[in-house]
Every structure is written in structure tokens, then in C-alpha cells.
Structure 1
Amino acid sequence: MNELLAVLEERSGLIAYLAIDMAIAIILLGGIRYIMGVINKVDTADELAKKDNFAFGISMAGGVAGMGIALSGAVTGELAGSLSIEFIGMLAYGVAGLILIKAGGYIHDKFALSTFDKREQISERNISVGIVDAASVIATAIVVRASIIWVDGLNTDTFVALTAAWVVSQIMLVIITRLFEWQYSKNNGITFQNALVTGHLALAIRYSGYLISTAMSVTAASHFIEFDITSLWLGISQWVVISVVLMVLLTILTTFAKYLVLFGINRQDEVENQQNIGIATIELATSFAIALILMGLMA
């Protein structure tokens, strides 16, 4: 404790930076609830406390977590050079992150899971859809965070680069959804999206693991590309190629890891037919663990 106080005393300016960052973060995190209320055209207090709509609560939890993940990439502290620059940077990146996260949710709804109305399903307390919605937001936020760390400076070019990296993430997430849906339909004869509408919790948990681990592999790809605004599109193209390679590698590694972790268990039958959420959660954890290790190795 004495050592901490000594460090704070020596670097007293750090407290001011910390206060600015945390104040902006808490305001933006608090705003998530009201933004969701406006977007979904509902009274959030009514949904959360009176109706006890767990699906809405899970969806909102994903939004709060996603905003926190994105904001963590904007924190620079004393490296900003001045309190005013830190304030502007944190606020600008925070707002940009919020916009991209919400836009990512729109893309996911319209292109990845387009056969049902997400807002209607969440309003009807479909927890499976709430889980998937939260996972898609967190996945987008993971890439937004990596993009904020990747770019340099605070100007129009920076936000063009940030948006371009976001586009890469959305393409990857839509691709993984199509592959997941194709595999499920092949095994079961019904669509993945129809299964979500019927409230298939185990499938929602497994899919969430795919989304988040894919986003982490896209993040890992950013470590190979040096930010240079003069050759932005070359860098983005390289990011796409490396992301695809890492996504394939991730799939191979997670398949093998799941086989070992759940050796002797028919994962397909347990998750898809028996709706075993325990097995599905282990699969999610395994996907996350392999992706986290992959990120560490690439860094």
C-alpha cells in the first residue's frame, strides 16, 4: 500500500488522467441503457425490473461489456501528452466505438441472422437470442478495441482506418455464421436460426463461443500489420488474409482441443439434440481459451 501511495505521489498527474478516463467511461457505460431503450422503443426500467425480461438484461449486459472492452483500447494515460488531448481522444474513440458496436449489431441482424426480428424475440423473452445478441456485440467490441490500439493519431484518416478494420471484422463474423449455419442444417435438417427462435440455449452458447473466438483471431491478425495511413488499403487487405488464415488455424486447434477435453462424449448429440448447456459452455470456454492463447502467441 505504501508503495502504491509513493508511486501516485511521484506521478500525481496520473490521477488526473485516470479521473478523466473513468468519468468518460462511466458516462458512456451509463448511456448504454438509455440508447438501448431508444433503439428497442421500450422502457428499460420496465423491461428489467417489472417484466423481469432476462433476455433484455442479457442483451444489455453484452452492450455494457462491449462498451467497456472498446473503451479499454482508447486509454493512453500520460502518453497522451496533455489532459485535453486525453479527454478529446477518450471521448472521440468512445463515441466512435459506440457507433461501430451498434452498427455491428445492425449488420449482424440484417446479414448474419436475418430470418427473424431480434427485437421482437428479445421482447418475447427469448434468452437464446439475447445470448447471441450479447455475444455479437462483445465480438464486435473486441475488434473495435484492437482497431483503436492499431491506429495512430486523432484525425479523419484515423477514423477511416478504424471503420475499415471494423468492416473486416463484420465480414469475418458473417462468414463464420454462414459456416456454422450450414453445418447445423446439414446435421439436423432445420436451420440454425429457426433453432434459436425455438429457444435452443445450448446452440446459442456454442455459437457465442464461435463469434467471440473468431473476433479474437481477427484481433490477433492486427499484430502482424503496422499502421501506415499512406498504405491503408494494403494493410487492410493483409489483415483480411491473415485473419482468414488464423480463423482456419483456430478452427483446427479448437476442434482438436474440444475432442481432447470432451473425449468420449458425443458433442453433436449432447448439444444439438439433448440441448446440454453444460457441454455447450465447455465448448465456449475451450474456444475462448485457444483463441486467447493464439492472441498471446501472435502478440
Structure 2
Amino acid sequence: MSKLAWLSLLLLSLGLASCSPGLIPLPSPEAEPTGLPATEVTFLIQAPASTPADAQLSVLFLDPITGLDYHASRVPMQRREDGRWVATAIAPVGSMLYYRYERLSPSPAVEVTGEFRTVPFRAAHVPGPLTIKETVAGWSDEPYADATGRILGHITDLETGEGLAEILVAAGGAVTFTDAEGAFHLDGLVPGEHLLVAFGPDGSYKPQQQGAVVSAAATTPVELALQPAIPVHVTFQVTVPPDTPAEAELRLAGSLAGAGRRFAELRGGLQSTAVDMPAMVRVDPSHFLSVLQFYDGSDLRYRYT
């Protein structure tokens, strides 16, 4: 049994709703959800030099829960007179985008890094109208063969100045995590413009991003300070179909680490596993309940499985 709850929301000021299973009725929502304002996001890329002028390129938006390209959407790109490619999409303000570039013709290919690794995902935070300038290293049938550069950086807590461990950092199609002291490095980046984004995988630190220019055989230094987010408790209340088996286990699969996403490629390309997804409590034959901690400002997408 799988029930989709394709809701994209920001956790702004949600309180803890308590419940004593079997003793009191399930809580009712205190307010109807409101839609988020949308804004325009422009993607402007330098494609590999071997890309034909009449090629078909697109931005592929990945499923934010599994990291796979099912439930994905594509936005076609157009070639400009200066040789760069551009596409425009509409996204909710405050959302996190997970995407990569692909070539549909003259033959299908996915983008690869300067080290000829398939790009797992790129990430971007949408605080408002945004232009993303990036460089694509190569395609899966045309690897990059010239010199690369690297980004070397350090990430700290904006309030304490201490180094932050396990912060996700992405740029140029490469993804890494900071070490215990908050240091990180991204190697094998092709020369050109890149968007560098850093955030807490569980939402505990708000996203910070900036452009970074990489040169061949050179190191680009980066220093970022992230704002800690406020923890909030969210109550998930689910009514399941009448034919749901009595022994069924319901879990919540989401786009944050607290909802099962690992942000690391597992077997089959998955970035989440059932064991990491929070199990829900069955309070009666037709209802499940779970109270989980997330953080204000987080972009949480989720479904029940």
C-alpha cells in the first residue's frame, strides 16, 4: 500500500500537537494550509564545447525524496547567441531544487563531472527571483579531458563561529559533506562559473549559496557562515483506506534527513532507505500518527509508504 502526499510546504510556526492514542480523538488541523508565493528561476549554463548548436538540452528536476528521475519534470533549454543555454522555471519561494542537466539529442546523455562521474544532483535554494549560472563538464558519452580546479572551504555557525560538521556542500555537480572542523573540498571541477550551496541535510542550518569561479589547476577558497534554524514539532495524522491490512506498517518518506533521505547514492541510485524512514503509530484501524522534529524554514516534501 502506498499513499502519496505530494505536499510541498515550509515549516514556519508549527506547534506540538499532543495525543493519547485510544483515549482522545485525533487532533484536527488548526488552520488550512496556504499556498506559497512563486518566483522565476533562470538557469544559464555553459555546455561542453562539443555540444552541437542544434542539440536539445533540458533541466531535469529530480524527485526530492528518492533522488531519482521518476516523478521528474523537464524544462527545455534554448541556445543563446553567445553560445550559452538558458531555461526558466517557476518555483515556490523558500524551496530547495534538486536537478541536473541532460542532452536529449542528437543522442540521449546525462551530465558528468570533470572526473567522469554521473552527476547525482545539483541543488539550489530559492529565496526569491534567482539566476543560476553554471558550467557543465561533459556528457556521459563525451567526458571532459582538460585540466580541472577545486573549491576548498570552511563552514561555520553564524552565531558561535564554530566549525560545522556534516553540512552538505554541492557545486559543479559534485557533492560532499564537511568534516568535524567544518572543512570541505570539491575536486575535479571544470573551469567556469558554478553555484555553490551549503545546508544542513536535516534542515538544522539554513541554506547559504553563492557563485564561485573555478580556474584550471587552481583552488578557489570559500568561507560560509550558516544561520541555525529553530526546531519545531510537526504532527502527521493519516487516514488510510479501509482495506489496509491490519499488520501493515506505515512510514513517512521525505526530502529531509529526518524523514529518511540520505543525500548519498545507494544501490540502484536511491538516496533513501525504508530503515531510515520514520515509522508511524497505528492508533486505530484507520488512523496512523507521528510527531517528528523538523526546523523552521525547511522545504519538506513527503509521501506515505
Which of the five TM-score ranges fits, normalised by the shorter chain?
under 0.3
Structure showing the higher strand proportion among its residues: 2
TM-score by length of 1: 0.27
